[in-house]
Structure formats: structure tokens, C-alpha cells
Structure 1
Amino acid sequence: MTILAALLIAATPVSIADCASPAPLAEPWTSWSQSGQARAGAQAHGAPALILGRPVVATLIPAAHIQFATPPGKGAKEGYGGLFTLSLKQPARVGIALDGPAWVDVVTGAEAVASVQHGHGPACSGIRKIVWFDLPTGRHLVQIAGSKAATVRVMAADAKANQPVG
């Protein structure tokens, strides 16, 4: 029973409220605490852009009002969500980070892109989850669904941002 309790504690993300001070973040998340503002889109046309390395606090929309390009993996009919665009000049492994629980999908063309990795952000960082996608050059749609909160901090980051070349 003790092992099970330890595993449950290890699997639970540390809330920033449980920390004495926020943890300093390494690349590509160093700008996580900056605060842009955005209102999530209800449809792909006109959805606001996410810019790599620039977090926003997004006001979300009731999920029933969103025209998702593909059905979200979870939570499509519950809570809040929204749509964002993300444009890439070159292929990249991109992480989408959120500060709260919600489902994240990336759609390229008419197809949902499979995630390649997911997990929690660093302890005491305020990043609850990061979902990684290998994305080609071009325009993508980021779908957020199933948030119980009407706002979420979201950031897209290139895994190789500011990494040494060599």
C-alpha cells in the first residue's frame, strides 16, 4: 500500500501554490511567466495565432460553441476550449504547454497529428502539462478542449529553441 501511495504522489503534478517560489525554467520555457492575452477562436477561420516562445493567458469558450476541425481526444462536450493557429517555417518538434488540465490536439490539414510525448512540466514551474508533436512546415490548428476553467495559460515552444549548435 505504501508503494501505491508513493506512486500516486509521484504522478500528481506539484501545484505552484505548494511552492515557496516559482522554479527557474530552462529553454525552451524561459518565457513561460510572461503574460500576453488572447481570446480563443470558435472556428479555424479567424483563430488567434500562437507564436513559438510567447505564452498567452487565453480566455476560452464553452466547448459546445466550438467548431473543432477533428473531434478532440477527450472532453469535447464538456467545459471550455478553443482554437489557435500555429505556423512553422520549418519542421519542428513543438511542445504545447498548459497551466491547467485540458486536452490538446494539433490538426494539420484535416488530420489530427499524433503526439510523440507528453508529461508534466518541471515542479514549481506552473506548467501542468506539455504535449509534444513532430510538425511539418506550414499552418496548424491547436485545439484545446475539456478545460474546467474559462482561462488557461498556453505556450508553444520549439524543442530546439536556443539550443547550442554542434
Structure 2
Amino acid sequence: MMILATLLLAAADPVCAVPAVLNEPWTSWTQSGQAKAGVLAQGAPALILGKPLTATLTPAAQVQFPVAPGKGAKDGYGGLFSLSLKQAARVGIALSGPAWVDVVTGDVSLGSVEHGHGPDCSDIRKIVWFDLPAGRHLVQIAGSKAASVRVMAADAQANQPAH
């Protein structure tokens, strides 16, 4: 019985001898940057495309989300970031841990267009993609069990050859 449990655990979480080589737009994922996520929309720190941050979160019940998160509004930890775009783009929001991600424009939560996991042997736990118009947006993180999470916003077209 112990052997079966060990095999199942190994299959669920592969041991990686070498971290994954990350392709665009995630090549800067391992760079360092730190910020304390905002608790109010006004003054929320900026996410800059292609620049990852290790974010210190706040108990979610203390965050004033402009729109109720899809999940985890009062559970665990959360926070807010601003994201400004000069032009419309498909943007991925990557997180290193389990949490809920919403993007809010004005007073409307925008639906995601795709989601998935990061590459095997990377610490990108999830990537949620949004088609965003130009302008200022808020990225809401909610329901994190950890008080910090690595977060990065990336343009799907970053460093892609022009056609």
C-alpha cells in the first residue's frame, strides 16, 4: 500500500532535476521584484508587462475589491494591482500558487478567454488569459492560501516576430 501511495504522489508531482527553460513571454519569470498588493483600487501598485513581482498579500476580508471576485472573496489572502495598456492586447496573468484572478475594467469583471498551467518544472502554477482593451485595469487576486505569491502579466505577442 505504501508503494502505491508513493507512486501516485510521484506521478502527481514530477521531480525535476533542472528547472524548465521558459519561452516568451515568460522568460523573465525568475527575475526579482517585490510589492505589497493594494487593498484599495486607488493607489494599487502597477503590474508592468513582462516584469514579475513577488507580491505580499493581505487577508482577503480586508481588501476592498471593486467587483466581487469569482471565488475566494473573503477566504485566504488577496490584493489588487493596476495594469495599464497603451493598446489592446491578449494578456496572461501568471501566478506561482493557487488563487483566483479577475481583471476589472471600470466596474466590470472581464471574462477570461483561456487558462492553464505553466510549463512542467516551472513554478508557474496557473496562467489566465484575457483580451483587454487599451486603458487602465485592475488585477484582483483572491483566495490565496499563502500570504505571498509571484505574479506576472505578459502580452501574448511579446517579442513575437511580425508577420
Relative to the length of structure 2, the TM-score reads 0.92
> Secondary structure at the residue paired with 1:126?
coil
2:151 maps to which residue? Answer: 154
Distance in 1 (CA, whole Å) between partners of 2:54 and 2:151 is: 6
Distance in 2 (CA, whole Å) between partners of 1:79 and 1:70 is: 17
Shift of 1:35: 1.0
1:61 maps to which residue? Answer: 58
Distance in 2 (CA, whole Å) between partners of 1:21 and 1:71 is: 39
2:85 maps to which residue? Answer: 88
Distance in 1 (CA, whole Å) between partners of 2:61 and 2:106 is: 22
> Secondary structure at the residue paired with 1:139?
strand
Percent identical among aligned pairs is 75
2:111 paired residue among 106, 109, 114? 114
> Secondary structure at the residue paired with 1:155?
strand
**TM-superposition CA deviations, 1:55-97 (whole Å, max 9, x none):** 0000000001000010000011110000000000000000000
Shift of 1:19: 1.4
Q: List 4+ stretches of structure 1 deviating above 3 A.
A: none
Relative to the length of structure 1, the TM-score reads 0.90
What is the RMSD computed on CA atoms of the aligned residues? 1.6
1:164 maps to which residue? Answer: 161
1:39 maps to which residue? Answer: 36
**TM-superposition CA deviations, 1:33-64 (whole Å, max 9, x none):** 00100000000001000000000000000001
1:131 paired residue among 90, 115, 128? 128
